[in-house]
Structure formats: C-alpha cells, structure tokens
Structure 1
Amino acid sequence: MRSNQEQPYYNQPYDIKNCDAEPIRSISRIQSYGILLVTDIEMTKWFHVSENVYEELKSTSLTQFLLKFLSPSELQDLTSENAWKPKSINLNKKSYLLIKHKDGGLIYLEFELEAKPSEHEFNEALQSSILSISNSPDLNIFLDQVLEEVYKITDYEHIMIYEFDQEFNGLVIRERRADHRPSYLGLKFPASDIPEQARALYFEESIRTIADVNAEQLIIRNNNKETPEQGINLSKVHVRGVSPIHLEYLKNIGVTASFSVAIVLENQLWGLIACHHTKANLIDFKKRNSLKFLSNFISSNLKNLNREEIRTKKLTATVNQQEILFNLLDSKNLVHSLIENKPNLLDIINAKGIYLKSQDTSKGSNHLISQEKLDGLVNWLNEKESFDVLAYNKSITVLPTEIYDDKMAGILVIQLSENTKDYIIFFREAQELEIKWAGNPNKTKTFDKEKGRLTPRKSFEKWIGKTKNTAVPWSDEDIELAHLIKSEIRELLYRKFTELTILNKELDNAYKSLESFTYTVSHDLKSPLRAIEGFTQILAEDYQDKMDEHGLQLLGMISNGVDRMKQFIEDILSFSKLNNDALFFHEINLKNFIFEIWKDFEIGAPHAQLIIADQLPKVYGDSRLMHQIFSNLISNSIKYVSKGESPLIRIDCEKDDNYSTFYYSDNGIGIPVKYREKVFELFRRLVSDNEYEGSGIGLSIVKKAVERHGGEIKITDKNGNGSKFIITLPTNKKTLDFLDRK
C-alpha cells in the first residue's frame, strides 16, 4: 500500500505558500472513521474509493461489493433517483451508516461509523434544548443558553461562540469550558485562521467535524480503468479529509477533536459555534442533523433578537428625528435645523462631528478639519458614481494623502442628490484601539521548508495589538439610520429647500424665453415650412415627367428634410409646453398605460419586445407627461438598437411609501459614462444623422417631464449592451400635495 507521505494531499497543483489557494474541496484524504465511494449516476462503475476498501473493490464488481451489505431491493433503492434515507449496514464486522448524495454527474456514498444512543432520549433532549433557547429574553442570555444546549448534545469540553467582524476576524463573545481548558473569551482570532474558501464551504454544509487529529487519514484511490467527466468535489462529504495545516493548527491549540456550526444571519456568515475536545470524539449523523436544525433555529432567533435591539435604538433615534423634521418644516434654514438646532443629526448617529454641503452652502459642527481638506473630500465624493450611503472606518486606505486627516478616519456619507452633489458627512476620529488577539495575528503562518508547506502559529497566548488611523467601525444600525435619514430628508427637507431654489431659478429663466421662443417656432417657422412643403408637392405632381432621376432624388431629399423639420418643431413645442401647461394629477395604472403606448410602436417595429414586471405599481401623475416620458424612451430604444439585433426593453420597479423607482433598460447602442449627464441637454446628440436620425430633444423632454413630477432620472451601468435608466416617480397623493405647494 502506498504510504501517506508518498501520496499528494491534493489532486491539483496550487501555490503552497498561499493558504487562500489551498483546494480543500478536493483533498485526496478522508478521516479514519469512514469509507468513501464515488460512482457514476447509474452506479455501474466506480471512480474513487478510500484505501480501506480499495483492494476489496478491485477484486470484484461494484454491484457485487454493494450486495455484500445490501439486499437486492435495497440496492435497487440506492441506485434509483428516489430520495435515500441513511441506512445502517454491516461491512467487515463494523456497523456503518450509509449516506448518499449527488453532485453533478457523480454519486458519493459515505460509510460512517455508527453510534447508537437512545433515539427517544436524544429527540427529547433536542426538544428540550429548543424550548429552553426559545425562552431566552435577550441576546446574552440567549447565547449562554445556546452553549449549554450544545454541550448537552455533544458533551464537548470547550464550546465558543465566535462573531465575525467586517474583515472576518472572529471575536469569542461567549464560551463554556472545562477548567483545564484555556479561556479565549474576549480574544480575536484572525481571518486567516478560517480562509475565504473554508468560510464559503459553510454555505454548502453548515457543520464541519474532525473526529481525531491524531488518526492517520485514509488515501482516496482512483480507478485507473475509469475516468470521470468531472473532478471530485468533497464539499458535502462529512468524512472529507483535513488540511495538514489545519491539523497542525488544532494540535498546537491542544485539541484532539473539533467541530464547528455556522451561524448565518441575513445571508451572511455572522459567526460560528466552535467546539474543542481533548479526546477523540465523533459527532455522528444524528447529532449533526440535530445541530443543523439547532443552527437554523439559532439563526432565526438571533435575527429576531438583533431586530429587537435595533428597534430599541431606532425608537430613540426616531424620536429625535421627528423633532428635527418638525423643526425643519417651520424653518427657513436647512443647515440650522439639521446640525445647529437641538436635537440635531448628531443625536441620531453617534459621531464626533458633522459637515453638510447643500448647493452653495456648507456648514460643519464639532470637528476641527480644515476647509481645504473638507473641500477636497467633497471633490473626491463628486468623482464617485451615484450612491446612497458610504461608510469607512479606515478612510486612509481610500482617500488621497492630501485630503486625509486623523479627524476623518471614520466617515459616513449620505448623498442627498447626485445632480447637485450635496452631502451630509459624519466624522469619527482615529483612535488607538487595543485589540486582544489569540496569538500574534502578524505571525499566523510561516513556510516550513522541511514540510514543504505553510505551518500555523504555535502560540495562542493573549497578544495585545494596537490599531492606527482607525476609527470605531460604523455599525449596521448606523448605516441603516443613515439610509432612513436620506429617505426622510428627500421627502420633507431637501426638496423643500434645494429643489425649490433650483426650480425657481430654472423657471424664472425658462418662462422669460419660452413664450417668445414658442411664438417664433409656431408662426415664423411653420408658415414658410408649409410653403416649402406645398411647392414641393406641386413639383412632384405636375413636373415629374420633366425631371431627370437626379432632380427627382433632390426633390425627395427636400420632402424628407421638410418632414424632419416639422418633427423637430413639434418636439420643440412639446418641450416648451412642459413648463407652461397646467398639470392634472391622478392615479395611473402604469402597466396598462405603457402597453397602450407600446401599441403605437408595434406596427413599425414588429420584432421589438417589451417585458414589464408583473407588480408594476400605480403612480400619481399627469397622463400627458407620462406619455412623453415613456414614448420618448421607447422611441429611442427602437431607434438606437444595435445593428443586427431586435429591440428588447425591460421595465422593473421598486416601491416605498412615497416614491417608486423604475428601472428601464434596453439592448441598444448604450451611452458612455462621460455623456450620461450631457444627453439630457437640449439638442445634444451622440451620433450623427447619417447613423441614426433624431432631434436631440427626446431625453430633454423625458428629464423635464420627470422633474415636473418631482422625480429624478439618471443613467447607470448595465450588464451587456444597452442603456439603463433609473426613474423615481411619486406614488401617493401626499407627495403630490407637497409638489402642488412647490
């Protein structure tokens, strides 16, 4: 038999000096308490098997091997596509539990040594565990109860609850241990202890067990006569072997057996229940299933307890927020209401200082940052793509050197408007924070030339590190409150001040020029154009036989030019009416409304396709302007389709209490980033008339119509070809009443 030292640990090469590259899904070992057999889907041939039955399987057929411990009917059940319930079998005078699962085109059979506790007693213990945890009134009591119940199920000596930070360092926030085990409570374990690929596995299999670090692992042998179409993937195999780096890590920490259970919260790996034992200890199938159930139950309860904690914090913030909004409605000074009055935004979000930039006004409070650096920070934000909230607790890693200041090590930024580049910025100063580590995090792994691989740290003694240029991190509650502030300000505050000012300036200038402009277009241009059109028709009808082919071509060009000029004038008139005509708001079933518009385009573009989300909400708006918005967008999508493609338009939506956000996308030629603001300017075109005809007014009409509804429109990135517009429109009468007052 080939020795373990001669057999590579992995069936693929990797960078042995990079722990994150270790291919742990395809390790060529299993743990000693089991057997692994990998076959094709029909189970007529085998590809891989653990060495403890390799010789036996080589000397017989796969079917004959399986019939050693299964009856013909059981074998038929095993090879069928029906769900397989793990079954007790006897093989080579040992009792195993036979577990089956499928991955791609392979069947994985695990034979796991079977423990036989009283199932009745165990189920009662699990039921008791769940009832006990359900009665936990707060987070700390809940976590302590979890430790006790996991101990009852597993009898492990050292059980820890380990919460990940944003960088996936794990802090031990609760532990239950035997007296002879060292305490790690309050210590952090660096993220490199559980590298990224190991964390990812917890989403596929929430429990990882290692029964005995001192037992020699069994080699997975290949069938040299058969080659599978896909590589082996041990992600869901419980007897999967253990990385030699991790085995050494566990030995260094004084552990013989370990298991860990994932705690997943909001689709994120919140933490682990990490368990250590100084003797070999197998967590069998039934216990694992119970722990999986318990893990889901813990995640659900933790979510509820977390929400309750957030709800309590929000309640305090909401009281202050409502008072701020109440004061703001009666105030003429946005800055005073938000950062100078009492209470102010610093009473909602825990920060050292605040800075508000609103149009041409800026004001700060409780900070000592120079105006030059503040201006630099605002300019840096102006260069970024549109966002709602940004949060950094180590801004030195993202800010240019000339901008950075220790007093802005932590920044939480709310973008009030992408168009006017206005922001609320909260600051936290850099602090020299003490972090207690389980061993030196700077010496987690070193390369051992003799072993030819990385070797983990040997000490887990408390090591105190200090951070520089780092602020206290912004919590999820801080970020959620920032989003809430933006939402409230958008509705009640920001629109009252900034949009009113901007709109008044625009209207003042527009109204002065549009009246005379419209008159000129209507009379001075239309009349001679009608004359040209009339004379062209006379020439075409009465003198056609007297013209050669070139003359007729020129006449056709004149007619086409007249038609385009007429359309151009109509577009200008439509644009001018957007400012002058009264609006009549009412509830509009937008899905039906858009389909009616679509009928006008179907005849001319029979291959075009429109896909609208099923739950498109009703909006409050003016039918004429709504028609302008969607007819111009659809017209552009059909007109500017990529060569050789049929137009495809998609409309999706997200709704909140006051506004609906529509996502309009197509598969056209797209709009480069540097032109995404300019395309809304009057007469601005990105392509020549020779490529695509147009007036350069359509998107100006769309933008003006959206803004007259108090909404916003912008262009964002889209996967693949085409353009993606984000449009916000009001969804209730309350918002429109506010617009009417405006």
Structure 2
Amino acid sequence: MTPLDPQAFEVLLANCADEPIRFPGAIQPHGLLVTLTEPDLRIQQISTNVHALFGLSAESLLGQPLSALTGEEAAVAVQQASEYPTLTEAPPLALTLHGGDYEGLLHREQGVLVLELESKPDASALESTMSKVRNLSRMLQRLQAATTLPALYEICVREIQALTGYDRVLIYRFEEEGHGQVIAEASSPSMELFSGMFFPASDIPEQARELYRTHWLRIIPNADYQPVALLPLLRPDTGAALDLSGAALRSVSPIHCQYMKNMGVLSSMSISLMDGDRLWGLISCGHRQPLHVSHELRMACQTIGQVLSLQISALQTLEISRQREAKMDALVVLNNAMVNGPDAVFDGLVQTPETLMQLTGASGVAILEDKALHCYGLCPSPLAIRALHQWFRDSGKSVFSSHNLSGVYAPAGEYKDVASGLLAMTLPKPVDNAVMWFRSEVKESIQWSGDPSKPLNLEPSASGLRLSPRTSFEIWKVEMEGISTPWSHGDLFAANDLRRSALENDLSRQVLREQAAVRARDELVAVVSHDLRNPMTIISMLCGMMQKAFSSDGPHTSRRITSAIDTMQQASNRMSVLLDDLLDTSKIEAGRYTITPQSLDVSQIFEEAFSLLTPLALDKAVELTFHAEPDLKIHADPERLFQVLSNLIGNAIKFTPAQGKIGVVAMSNGADIVFSVRDSGKGIAPEQLPHIFDRYWTAKEGNALGTGLGLYISQGIIKAHGGLLLAESTLGEGSEFRFTVPKMA
C-alpha cells in the first residue's frame, strides 16, 4: 500500500475523532426506542424494528399517543414514572406489551422523554438473576472490607464474572500519558490473558472516554449486529440528530465492533471507574459468544463499579496520607536546617544533603542559589544543571516533575543515565534558586498488546482509505529508555511542603532584614537630627548677631554681606524644618507616631491660627477668614493639630494669587468635627491629585522651598487621631482640604 503522507493521515485521525458516536441515528436491535413529547406523551421518533417486534408500522405511530404502541395500562405506568422528581427515583418499569414482558428504561434528553424497551428474561433466567442480585449486599461488603488496592481489584473482577458469566472481566487503568494497563483480570481458561499488559491510548479515542466519564455503563450484546435506524432520522422539533449518549440501546461505532471481533469477542460490557470527576479506568467485560445481560444485573454491576470507585478513591487517599506521613520526620529536619541556615534558607539544606535526597528517594540533588551551585550524588554537569534550571524557570512552574525528562526537554537525553527523572522547586526571588532532585534511568521491558508505535491501520473503502481497528494483539515488548522510577504523590507533597517551609523562612528573613533596616534608618535620622540641631542653632544665632553688626543701608560691601547672612539664615531655618519633617516621617513609617490628645476649644485654636497666619496672607493681599460653629470642642493633640492647620493654610497662601480668598471652617458632623481649608488658587491638575499625599510630592511651580513631606506628615497626624484627610480641586478654580477629628466626649 502506498504510504500515506502526514497531512492526509491527520485528516483521517480528525475524521475518526469527529465520528458522531453520540448521534448515530440508530440503536442496537435487542430492544426498541421511542421518544415522547411531554406532558401528552406523543410519539416523536421510533426505531424501525417496531414492525419486527410488534407488527406495527413505524410511520403510522408517529404523532400518536404512547398508548397506540403500548396499550393504555403501560402508558399510564410510563406517565406515572415520568412524574418523579428525578427518573432515577422511579421504580423499575415492568411492562406487558403484545403478549411479552419488557423492562422499560426512561431518561430525558434535551426536552424529550426517551423510553427504551428490552425483553425481560424468562422465568428460570429471572430467578437466577434475582438470586444473584440478592447477594449483592454481601458482594459489596467484601469490596468494602478490602484493605489494599490489589485485593480490591481481585474481588471486583471475580464477583462481576460470577454475576454476569462473561468469559473475561478485567480492570483497565488509565495512565497519565493516555495509554492504559490491565491491572486485574478474571478469565475463562480458553481466553488469552491480558493482565499486566499496556494498551495504546488510540484504542479508546478521547470522545469515547468522555462518554465513559459521563455515563457509567455501556453494553453490546452482539457486535455482529445490524443497526436499527430511527424514524424520522432527525428530531421533528429541532431538526437535529437525537443525542443517544444516555441510551442503553445506543448503536456504537462500527470500528469498535470490528475491534471486538479482532479481539475474539462478540459481546462486551464496560463500567466506568471514577476518581471524583476524572475517568480513572474501566471494568471491561468480554464474551466469545453473544450475551445479553439483563437490566437488573447491569445495575448490580454498575453499583459494584460505583462502590469500587469510592473504595479506590478512599484507599488512594489513605495511601497518599501514608506517603505524606512517611515524609514528615525528614521535613522537620530540613525545616530546622533552613531556620538555622547562616545567610539564606538554602544554606541550611546544603548542610543536610543526605536527608534531602532521602526525602524523595533521589539518586542526586543540586542546590542552586545565585552564583553558588552545590551537587550531591549522581547529577548532570554544572553547565547542564544551569541550562536545565533556565528551562524549568522559563516554564513558570514553581514545582515541576517528570520521570521522562528527555521526553519534555530534549537536551536531557545527553545525561539520561544520571537524570531521567527530575523533581524541582524554586522560590520567587530575584536571584537564580532551585532545589533539583534527580533519578537515574531505569531500563525495563514493557509488554504491550500489539505494537504501540503502530496502533492504527488503514483499509480501503468506497470513499478511499479509512482508519480501521488494529488486528494484532500479540505481546510486543518495548525496551524503555530515558525513564526513571515515577515520582509518587508523597514525593510531590514533600517538594511542595519543603518549598512552603522555605518560602516562609525566606519571607521571615526578609521581614527581619527590613525591620533591622528600618531601625537603622530611624537611629540614623535621630542621630543626624540631634547632631545637626546644635550646629544649626549656633549658625542661626551667629546669623542674628551678624545681621545686627551690618546694616542693609550701609555701603555696597555691607549690603552684600547682609544679603549673604539672610541667605544663610533662610537655609538654616529650612534645614531645621527638614530635620523635623524627616523625624516625623520616620516615626509615621515605623508605626511609632504618637499624639497626646486633650480637650480643645476650636474657637481658641482658630484665634491662635488667625494671629500667626494672617500676616502671611496680608503680605500677599490674600483674604483669610475663620469660622467655627459655636461651642465646638475636640479631642486632639494641640501642637500636632496646629501643625496640620499651619501646613494646609500655608500651602493655600502660597498657591493663592493676590486678591484671592481662603476660608477655614469647622463644623459638627455626627461624632466628628470636620475642618475645611478652601482657597481660590490655581488648583491641582487631575493627574497630580491622587499623588499629593505621597512622600516627597511637591507642586512643580511656585514651591522651590517645599520638602514634599508636609502633606504626607499631615495625613499621618490626622490618621493618628483616627480621622481622614482628603482633597478636592478644580484646575483654575481652587482646592479644598478636609479632615476630621473626634468630638470631645
């Protein structure tokens, strides 16, 4: 056969993936399916085998009430069952139709009621079935008593084989890579054994897995069947194909039927095994001859599958808990080592390499911290480790694991003998850092059922080539390379927990360093302030004395000296203000800013402010007014409150042009007194307004002597009083600053 080019092969794969297995438009012939409108239960669609089963014309039944098919008594039973809040709560439907006994199965699908009818077993078979079902509770008790997963699997396959009579019952577990492995099997002596074998992922396409995930059970009594079409093929109400996902009679893919025949079975049943919402595996049953398992037995098997799923999840959780518990002693040792590390947290790990390797069962470990790299055991070269770290870091993952490193990072193929497995963790720090555990290559032969590299076949069809199921299930041994022992849940837990401890320790060290830096800064500011105040005071005093000795009305030289003295005086005064501001800022940032509140009369505060600040306003021909509601008393620190008022009024005077107005108002508002300083100045630009309380923010114009700390400190003072300082401004019209202070109780 001419080789198929890759693009054409991908098209075939896509066609296979798009096969409408949920909408086949047909059912298997061992029953009858009918869709019904509600609440009147009129027949919308019906399978065309109604004539073979009941001698009725499918066309004549369309649009008719259900009773035209089943008779009035059976139609009433269906009506009553359909009225249950959920159909799973409805009792089993035992219907007598046209002289035969049938089981009725109900489910809803996108606005229609779907009724499926299957023949009930004869009396002897029914008695055998009921006898087996009566023993179900004993079977479930045996399942629940299992203490290990292998014992659980063994009980399950043997009980389901005894319950159903299938030649082969096996448990198939999905691996992370997509393929599956048979982990338990109960088979008749004539059957080929598959226990322990791996099956390619392509044996169960993704859309089939999704059906298994959402529906617990599927049965094919005879793979050599001819599908029975629905009439009409499309739903009359929507014009779309009927979704048969929830139908027990759903016709399956012909590719799957051929796959069954190639395996030597004609009947199959699959029961999903779930781990939460994840499809964990399947219970797969097969029989050489056609075999129809009754609805009662199927429900018993489904119950076993559901209990097994819960037990698997419970025992897996218990095993994970055991694995985690086994890591705790080593994690405590490593955490103590990190706590006691001299400089960085990883310094402590460098002192305990053996414990670090034992933690995850690694054959080597590398500890990277900036320029330092420490390697223990079997590790790649330092250059290879740094390149691997770069790749791992760029992936954006804080914890990474792989037992086939060269499969995801090709350069690792060069050192797969020492590092086929990688478990790594890193901290969010500006310097390169990581702990990287390595596991050596473990060469082993894996038995596949057929060649895993060629799971799909091509066959000619009327439209050209099409994919067909594989025909060979012979044992195919594959020598695995570049593979290490997989990392367990306990190993991943250990890496994540060690990272958590390292992160907490690293953050704790950062906090201590920052606290020490803040203390050192505060001490420096205090020392500088104290040491500079005396010389600044002396300079100020000397300037005053020199000003008396020289007259600004004297000769030219005398005037120049006087001007220089004025400049020195202004600089000295500004330096004193800056030192005070720096001290206040340091206290605010350290959370140590304290106030001494007392009872204050607002009108008295305004009188003092008026006497001190009005002259500044008059110098600029700015009108300054004060107004307070009568008898306002507040609980505040007088010195600090006056500092805020002086800063706000001083700023208003500075940025208000001549003939402008500034109004200072105090009024009661609930438990607070609201102070307002409003000016008619040039205002603050909208893009600058959100930043005016930031440290070192200053207006760019008209504020050459500003330190940028006044408003920041004012806000800190008001917050220390339990209030809030806010500002509003309109460019070209002026600004208003408001703050609140508690009333005197």
* Structure-2-length-normalised TM-score: 0.67
Match of 1:58 in 2: 59
| Distance in 1 (alpha carbons) for counterparts of 2:281 and 2:293 | 20
Q: Which residue is 2:301 aligned to?
A: 291
Tell whether 2:286 aligns with 1:273: no
1:445 is the counterpart of 2:456? yes
- Once residues 503 and 368 of structure 1 are traced to their aligned partners in structure 2, the CA distance between those partners, rounded to angstroms, is 39
Matched, 1:168 2:178: yes
CA change 1:484–1:221 in 2 (3 A) is: same
Cα 1:513–1:111 shift into 2, 3 Å: farther
Question: Which of 311, 335, 338 is matched with 2:349 structurally?
Answer: 338
Question: Separation in 2 of the partners of 1:143 and 1:103?
Answer: 34
1:434 paired residue number? 445
Alpha-carbon separation, structure 1, partners of 2:430 and 2:40: 63
1:208 Cα deviation after fit = 1.5
Matched, 1:311 2:317: no
| C-alpha distance in structure 1 between counterparts of 2:305 and 2:185, whole Å | 17
1:245 deviates by: 0.7
1:127 deviates by: 1.0
Cα offset for 1:365?
A: 1.5
Which position in structure 1 is the counterpart of 2:502? Answer: 489
1:77 matches 2:80: yes
Distance 1:576 1:341 in 2: 49
In structure 2, give the amino acid aligned to 1:65: A
| 1:534 partnered with 2:644 | no
After superposition, residues 682-697 of structure 1 pair within 5 angstroms as none
Q: Is the 8 A contact 1:413 1:424 kept in 2?
A: yes
2:64 aligned partner, one-letter code: L
Aligned position for 1:245: 255
What does residue 126 of structure 2 align with?
117
2-side partners of 1:124 and 1:267: how far apart?
A: 30
Matched to 2:427, the amino acid is L
**Cα distance in structure 2, aligned partners of 1:507 and 1:394:** 51
CA contact (8 A) 1:536 1:558 kept: no
Q: Which of residues 26, 30, 46 in structure 2 aligns to 1:29?
A: 26
Residue 173 and residue 512 in structure 1: after superposition, are their counterparts in 2 closer, same or farther (change >3 A)? farther
Counterpart of 1:275 in structure 2: which amino acid? C
Alignment of 1:488-637 (within 5 A): 488-491=501-504, 493-495=505-507, 531-537=650-656, 539=658, 541=660, 555-557=681-683, 566-569=692-695
> Could you tell me how far apart the structure 2 residues matched to 1:533 and 1:490 are?
49
Q: Deviations over 1:655-677 (max 9, x none)?
A: xxxxxxxxxxxxxxxxxxxxxxx
Q: What is the CA distance between 1:198 and its match in structure 2?
A: 0.9
For 1:446, the aligned partner's letter is N
Q: Secondary structure at the match of 1:174?
A: strand
Alpha-carbon distance between aligned partners in 2 of 1:450 and 1:503, rounded to the nearest angstrom: 78
2:402–2:486 Cα contact (<8 Å) kept: yes
Which residue in the other structure is 2:427 paired with? 416
Counterpart CA distance in 2 for 1:307 and 1:80 is: 40
RMSD: 4.2
Structure 2 match to 1:90: 96
Deviation, 1:379, is 2.5
Structure 2: gaps (5+ residues): 1-10, 530-577, 586-642, 664-678, 698-707, 732-745
Corresponding residue for residue 735 of structure 2:
none
Q: Kindly indicate whether the alpha-carbon contact (under 8 Å) linking 1:536 and 1:559 is maintained by their aligned counterparts in 2.
A: no
Partner of 1:39: 36
| 1:558-600 deviations in Å (ceiling 9; x for gaps) | 59799666423498869999xx99xxxxxxxxxxxxxxxxxxx
Match of 1:473 in 2: 486
Q: Secondary structure at the match of 2:152?
A: helix
Matches of 1:232 and 1:502, distance apart in 2? 67
Q: 1:224: how far off?
A: 7.4
Counterpart AA for 1:456: P
Provide the residue aligned with 1:355 in structure 2: 366
Match of 2:292 in 1: 282
Q: Which residue of 2 aligns with 1:459?
A: 472
Contact kept in structure 1, 2:106 and 2:114, CA below 8 Å: yes
Q: Which amino acid aligns with 1:288?
A: R
CA contact (8 A) 2:29 2:225 kept: yes
Deviation at 1:193, TM superposition (A): 0.8
Are 2:172 and 2:281, in contact at CA under 8 Å, matched by a contact in 1? yes
Pair 1:499–1:378, CA change in 2 (3 A): farther
> How many Å separate the matches in 2 of 1:487 and 1:457?
48
- Once the two structures are overlaid, the 10-residue window that deviates more, 48-57 or 497-506, is 497-506
Query: Residue type of the partner of 1:74?
Result: A
Distance 1:329 1:323 in 2: 10
Q: Is the 8 A contact 1:15 1:22 kept in 2?
A: no
Contact kept, 8 Å, 1:359 with 1:422, in 2: the verdict is: yes
**Match of residue 135, structure 1, among 125, 139, 145:** 145
Equivalent residue for 1:647?
A: none
Matching residue of 1:260: 270
Cα contact 1:430–1:469 (8 A) shared by 2: yes
Give the conservation status (yes or no) of the 8 Å contact 2:661–2:680.
no
Q: Which one-letter code corresponds to 2:80 in the other structure?
A: D
Is 1:47–1:228's contact at 8 Å kept on the other side of the alignment?
Answer: no
- Would the alpha carbon gap of residues 363 and 504 (structure 1) be closer, same or farther in structure 2, given more than 3 Å must change? farther
Distance in 2 (CA, whole Å) between partners of 1:303 and 1:238 is 27
Give the % identical residues. 21
**Inter-CA distance 15–125: structure 2 relative to 1 (3 Å threshold):** same
| Residue of structure 1 in register with 2:613 after alignment | none
Contact 1:261/1:272 (8 A) holds in 2? yes
Question: Per the alignment, in what secondary structure is the counterpart of residue 107 of structure 1?
Answer: strand
Q: Which residue pairs with 1:394 in the alignment?
A: 404
Equivalent-residue separation in structure 1 for 2:73 and 2:454 (angstroms)? 51
Query: What letter is aligned with 1:56?
Result: S
The answer (yes or no) to whether the contact 2:77–2:93 under 8 Å persists in 1 is: no
- Asked if the contact 1:32–1:218 (Cα under 8 Å) also holds between the matched residues in 2, the reply is yes
Task: Quote the Cα distance in structure 2 between the aligned partners of 1:257 and 1:533.
Answer: 93
CA distance in 1, matches of 2:682, 2:712: 30
User: Contact 1:448/1:454 (CA < 8 Å) preserved in 2?
Assistant: yes
> In 1, distance between residues paired with 2:190 and 2:711?
81
CA contact (8 A) 1:518 1:576 kept: no
Residue 367 of structure 1, CA deviation:
3.0
Structure with greater Cα Rg: 2
Secondary structure at the residue paired with 1:344?
Answer: helix
Check whether the contact 2:327–2:490 (CA below 8 A) recurs between aligned residues. Answer: no
Q: 3-state DSSP class of the match of 2:209?
A: helix
Give the aligned residue type for 1:26: F
Q: What TM-score, normalized by structure 1, do the two folds share?
A: 0.67
Contact kept? 1:161, 1:172, Cα under 8 Å = yes
Aligned-pair CA distance for 1:415: 2.5
Q: How many residues align?
A: 567
Cα distance, 1:313 vs. partner?
2.8
Is contact 1:521-1:569 (8 Å) kept? no
* Cα shift readout 1:363-397 (whole Å, capped 9, x = no counterpart): 22223322222222233333343x44222233334
Cα drift, residue 174 of structure 1? 1.3
* Cα contact 1:260–1:274 (8 A) shared by 2: yes
Deviation by residue 1:274-330 (Cα, 9 ceiling, x = unmatched): 111112112222122222221121122222222333333333322222233345445
Q: Cα distance 1:395–1:97, how it changes in 2: closer, same or farther (>3 A)? A: same
Q: Cα distance, 1:222 vs. partner?
A: 1.5
Deviation at 1:138, TM superposition (A): 2.0
Q: Structure 2 CA distance, aligned partners of 1:16 and 1:227? A: 33
Deviations 1:606-630 (A, max 9, x none): xxxxxxxxxxxxxxxxx99xx99xx
CA distance 1:343–1:464, shift in 2 (3 Å): same
Is the deviation greater in 296-305 or in 505-514?
505-514
Pair 28,518 (structure 1): closer, same or farther in 2 beyond 3 Å: farther
Query: 2:607 aligns to what?
Result: none
Unaligned runs of 5+ in 1: 1-13, 545-552, 582-622, 640-688, 691-742
